[in-house]
């Protein structure tokens, strides 16, 4: 799952996230395949963690330990 930050000024309800209410400056997880649909709304959402970023970080950690 990717992560985005809501940068709007008022709380919003996001039907795609199970009608969850998202507060200003709150970071939420979104499906990887929907990441672009959020971050293209540059006045409302900003990227925090792109799709696959956590997997890459975990792989790097495992490589360092091994």
* Phi, psi (rounded to 5 degrees) for 34: -110, -5
Other Cβ atoms closer than 10 A to 58: 10
pLDDT digits (tens, 9 = 90+) for 20-56: 999 999 999 999 999 999 999 999 999 999 998 865 5
pTM: 0.76
């Amino acid at each position: 799952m990717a992560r985005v930050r809501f940068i709007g000024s008022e709380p919003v309800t996001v039907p795609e996230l199970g009608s969850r209410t998202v507060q200003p400056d709150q970071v939420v997880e979104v499906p990887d395949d929907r990441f672009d649909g959020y971050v293209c709304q540059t006045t409302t959402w900003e990227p925090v963690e792109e799709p696959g970023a956590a997997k890459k970080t975990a792989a790097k950690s495992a490589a360092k330990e091994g």
